[in-house]
């Protein structure tokens, strides 16, 4: 359906867990989070009701996210049941890739059409530092497994972090020469102030263009919220997602549902509408209200003031 500004809302980001097997410094506190009881979180049945309600309102694409979706024991069953909802044409997932090696094949057979894998560095020590303990080789094996399992829509998401990976922009972009995989650079967003962002950590996507200017980069166009470019001879595109330096609110097509059952009309607004415990009709009414409550734009983000989201990213889903 259209929101009050005429934007067609056809994309749902469904976070299925707050929990994660990594602790990325820009996303979640080192101590993890207070685990909520089962009855505070959406059950699989409620997730499927919510997706059915969304589909009846015109949602066609669902992205499963988290926390880390692959730590969820019933992930394959969730994928199958979401994909079988009438009206859902595309099922995507965003994952840190740590568990992907042994799961890629089954995910493909459970109806997942496309994977985004988060990868901010190609240096094993830096990876371990930023994720507080993760193993880079697990992610690289996961990427190989995704490609050999027949996923032909795989993207890598790299969050730009000044002083951490701005010296690796060319190497990360170079993955598009080696693999048929888009690499998208994402500006760091100042989510919860408890994460204590360093002001120097923010760098704009323009830095990517600057760093790649001598590598034969040509403009391709827009792909959703991403400005796309291509290196000559590459197998895939480079994308720039610039929530701070270039707002894309006017073309926003999405709503979010958190693992504890809150519909978020906007990533950077504190407004949340609960669907936990509602039946199908109740959920549909709330989701419709949330779509109509989408703001024209969120406030200008800056590192002087955190987002109004009121949650760390692992509790929203990105």
Q: Which residues bind ligand SAM (CB under 6 A)?
A: 20, 26-27, 65-66, 68, 94-96, 118, 157, 159, 186, 188-189, 191, 313-314, 317-318
User: Which option in ligand SF4, ligand SAM, none does residue 317 bind, with CB closer than 5 to 8 A by kind?
Assistant: ligand SAM
Residue 33 CA, chain-centre distance (Å), reads 19
Interface positions, 133-172, toward ligand SF4 (CB under 6 A)? none
Interface positions, 23-62, toward ligand SF4 (CB under 6 A)? 23-24, 27-28
DSSP state of 254: E
**Binding window for ligand SF4 (CB under 6 A); candidates: 6-14, 16-24, 179-187, 256-264:** 16-24
Please identify, using beta-carbon distances, which residue of 133 and 150 lies nearer to ligand SF4.
133
Contact between 291 and 283 (Cβ < 8 Å) = no
| 3-state DSSP assignment of residue 143 | helix
Please state the closest distance from residue 196 (CB atom) to ligand SF4, in A.
Answer: 15
Residue 185: name the closest of 211, 215, 152 by CA.
211
Residue nearest to ligand SAM (CB): 318
Would you count residue 265 as binding ligand SF4 (CB under 6 A)?
no
User: Which option in ligand SAM, ligand SF4, none does residue 189 bind, with CB closer than 5 to 8 A by kind?
Assistant: ligand SAM
User: Which option in ligand SAM, ligand SF4, none does residue 17 bind, with CB closer than 5 to 8 A by kind?
Assistant: none
Residue 280: name the closest of 90, 14, 103, 50 by CA.
50
Q: How far apart are the C-alpha atoms of 263 and 290, rounded to whole Å?
A: 7
Would you count residue 228 as binding ligand SF4 (CB under 6 A)?
no
Q: How far apart are the C-alpha atoms of 20 and 289, rounded to whole Å?
A: 30
Handedness of CA 162, 265, 14, 175 (dihedral sign): negative
Cβ count within 10 A of residue 280: 14
Residue with tokens 């303990």: 133
Please state the closest distance from residue 96 (CB atom) to ligand SF4, in A.
Answer: 4
# residues near ligand SF4 by CB under 6 A: 13
Q: What are the start-end ranges of the H helices in the chain?
A: 44-56, 75-83, 104-109, 124-131, 136-148, 169-173, 175-178, 206-212, 280-292
Interface positions, 110-129, toward ligand SF4 (CB under 6 A)? 118
Binding residue for ligand SF4, selected from 12, 16, 20, 47, defined by CB under 6 A: 20
One-character DSSP codes across 172-218: HHTHHHHSS-EEEEEE-----GGG---GGG---THHHHHHHGGG-EE
Please state the closest distance from residue 139 (CB atom) to ligand SF4, in A.
Answer: 10
Please state the closest distance from residue 280 (CB atom) to ligand SF4, in A.
Answer: 29
User: Which option in ligand SF4, ligand SAM, none does residue 157 bind, with CB closer than 5 to 8 A by kind?
Assistant: ligand SAM
Binding site for ligand SF4 (CB under 6 A): 20, 22-24, 27-28, 66-68, 96, 118, 313-314
């Amino acid at each position: 359906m259209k929101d009050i500004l005429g934007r067609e809302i056809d994309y749902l980001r469904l976070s299925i867990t707050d929990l994660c097997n990594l602790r990325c410094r820009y996303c979640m506190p080192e101590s993890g989070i207070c685990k909520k009881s089962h009855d505070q979180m959406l059950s699989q049945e409620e997730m499927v009701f919510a997706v059915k309600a969304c589909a009846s309102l015109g949602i066609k694409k669902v992205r499963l996210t988290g926390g880390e979706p692959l730590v969820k024991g019933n992930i394959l069953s969730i994928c199958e049941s979401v994909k079988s909802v009438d009206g859902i044409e595309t099922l995507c997932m965003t994952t840190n890739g740590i568990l992907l090696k042994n799961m890629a094949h089954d995910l493909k057979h459970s109806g997942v059409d496309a994977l985004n894998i988060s990868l901010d560095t190609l240096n094993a020590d830096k990876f371990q530092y930023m994720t507080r303990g993760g193993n880079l080789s697990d992610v690289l094996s996961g990427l190989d497994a995704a490609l050999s399992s027949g996923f032909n829509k795989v993207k890598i998401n790299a969050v730009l972090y000044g002083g951490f990976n701005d010296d690796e922009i060319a190497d990360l972009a170079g993955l598009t020469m080696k693999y048929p995989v888009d690499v998208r650079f994402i500006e760091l967003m100042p989510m919860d102030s408890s994460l204590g962002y360093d002001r120097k950590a923010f760098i704009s996507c323009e830095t990517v263009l600057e760093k790649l200017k001598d590598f034969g980069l040509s403009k391709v166009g827009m792909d959703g919220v991403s400005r796309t470019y291509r290196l000559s001879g590459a197998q895939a595109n480079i994308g720039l997602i610039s929530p701070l330096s270039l707002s894309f609110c006017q073309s926003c097509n999405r709503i979010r549902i958190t693992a504890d059952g809150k519909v978020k009309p906007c990533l950077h607004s504190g407004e949340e509408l609960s669907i936990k415990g509602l039946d199908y009709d109740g959920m549909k009414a709330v989701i419709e209200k949330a779509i109509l409550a989408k703001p024209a734009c969120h406030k200008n983000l800056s590192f002087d003031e955190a987002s109004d989201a009121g949650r760390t990213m692992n509790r929203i889903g990105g």
